[in-house]
Amino acid sequence: MKKKKVVIGMSGGVDSSVAAIILQQQGYEVIGLFMRNWDSLADGEFDGAPTTEEGICPQEVDYNDAKKVCEKLNIPLYRKDFVKEYWDYVFTYFLEELKNGRTPNPDIMCNKYIKFDMFAKEAWKLGADYIATGHYARLENGKLLKASDKNKDQTYFLSQVSKEQFKNVLFPIGDMLKPDVRKIALEYNLITANKKDSTGICFIGERNFTNFLKNYLPNQPGNIVNIDTNEVIGKHIGLMNYTIGQRRGLNIGGTDERMFVVGKDLAKNILYICIGEDNDYLITDSCLVDNINYLGENRVSKCMAKFRYRQEDIPVELEWLDNEVLVKYPQGQKAVTPGQACVFYDGDICLGGGIIKEVRKNNKKLWYL
């Protein structure tokens, strides 16, 4: 009987490396596909784009690592450029959201438009029966479930992927704990076994974020204002460099008080801060969410939700509107941020979600957000 063919996204990291091993153990014919989604030369030479000591950009290091893993596992590796698609569908969105004072999550859009769309189409050209990635998530009976390793669960980042896109998708390490993934990589003596997890913007990687953005959005310094007293207490380096709830990097001298970003006024170029993490300005009780991608069978009126990746799930009430949903959390929540994803859950089942359009309190849109 002919083996089923799986095309797996090989990122040059330990997770996709071990996912490929698991697929081989399960009897699939495995083909690797490396995505090149960012042209490091487009950065210019002024943003401190990272390189290794040998002067190689991390993307090429990742490709070389993926190649070595595939050679060791005796699986072919293809390479495909999605640089234009990434720019058109992910990075342009990212920049527009920043210009509008919001805090976007490009990794979510990368999954929607690149990994589970462009990549999938390329995989089908290679004759794939399935596609696979190294995501920490599970699929059972067409439902997206949290990973067994709750510390690594990535369903938040998969919340904009449609039901149709999840067809014929495999998440080989969704039932595994991260230490066990590394253990297998060490047993196979893979070059990625002890490689640290990637952080930063999807495919762009770790770098000085402020310097990087200056290539695309010029900084416009302005006043930092205490929202309680309306007093100017410092200068910001450009509103795009801050997010709601941020505490570090404000560079406000002369005080030991804990300060948090609480709002932005784009027209006046003002960054508002508050004193104390329990400040009333920082706490809201509802938000309007659009760009809804619902993965459940029926719309629910109550469920759990999270507004940031590392946040605990909290109980919410949902009021469904035409193309939006009003998410209510009467108990209050800190630092809910326009542009971030609001993701719904029923236990371990991810019901999808949307993008936070506006934040409210006492049924009113907040003037400072």
Q: What is the pLDDT of residue 249?
A: 86
Coil/strand/helix, residue 43: helix
- As a CATH number, domain 5-209 is 3.40.50.620
Q: What pLDDT is stored for residue 168 in this prediction?
A: 96
Looking at residue 37, its pLDDT comes to: 85
Residue 47: what pLDDT? Answer: 44
Where are the extended beta strands (E) located within the chain? Answer: 5-9, 29-36, 77-81, 130-132, 137-140, 143-146, 169-170, 222-226, 231-236, 259-265, 270-275, 283-294, 302-306, 314-320, 325-334, 341-346, 349-361, 364-365
Q: Do 49 and 207 form a contact (C-beta atoms < 8 A)?
A: yes
How far out from the chain centre does Cα 191 lie?
Answer: 26
Please report how the helices 14-25 and 178-187 are oriented relative to each other, as an axis angle in degrees rounded to 10: 70
**CB count in 10 Å sphere of residue 33:** 20
Classify residue 229 as left (phi > 0), alpha (psi -120 to 50) or beta.
Answer: alpha
List residues with catalytic annotation: 110, 202
| Helix-, strand-, coil-residue percentages of the chain, each rounded to 5 | 25, 30, 45
Architecture (CATH level 2) of domain 219-275: Roll (2.30)
Phi, psi of 334 (to 5 degrees): -90, 145
Q: How far is CA 264 from the centre of its chain?
A: 23
Report CA-CA distances (Å) from 34 to 67, 82, 113, 146, 165.
9, 10, 16, 25, 19
What gap in Å lies between CA 204 and CA 43, rounded to an integer?
A: 10
Q: What pLDDT does 48 receive?
A: 44
Left, alpha or beta for 265 (phi > 0: left; psi -120 to 50: alpha)?
beta
Q: Do domains 5-209 and 219-275 have the same CATH topology?
A: no
- Predicted confidence at residue 262, as pLDDT, reads 97
C-alpha triplet 352, 354, 359: angle, nearest 5°: 135
- Quick check: 160 and 341 in contact, CB under 8 A? yes
Alpha helix positions (H), 154-297: 178-187, 209-213
Cα(129)–Cα(245) distance, integer angstroms: 44
pLDDT one digit per residue (tens) for the chain, 369 residues: 789 999 999 999 999 999 999 999 999 999 999 999 887 655 544 344 445 444 456 678 899 999 999 999 999 999 999 999 999 999 999 999 999 999 999 999 999 999 999 999 999 999 999 999 999 999 999 999 999 999 999 999 999 999 999 999 999 999 999 999 999 999 999 999 998 887 656 555 555 677 888 888 888 999 999 999 999 999 999 999 999 999 988 988 777 789 999 999 999 999 999 999 899 999 999 999 999 999 999 999 999 999 999 899 999 999 999 899 999 999 999 999 999 999 999 999 999 999 999 999 999 999 998
Task: Identify the CATH homologous superfamily for domain 282-365.
Answer: Translation factors (2.40.30.10)
- Provide the phi-psi class of 238: left if phi over 0, else alpha when psi is between -120 and 50, else beta: left
Provide the pLDDT for residue 205.
56
Boundaries of every domain in the chain: 5-209, 219-275, 282-365
pLDDT of residue 40: 63
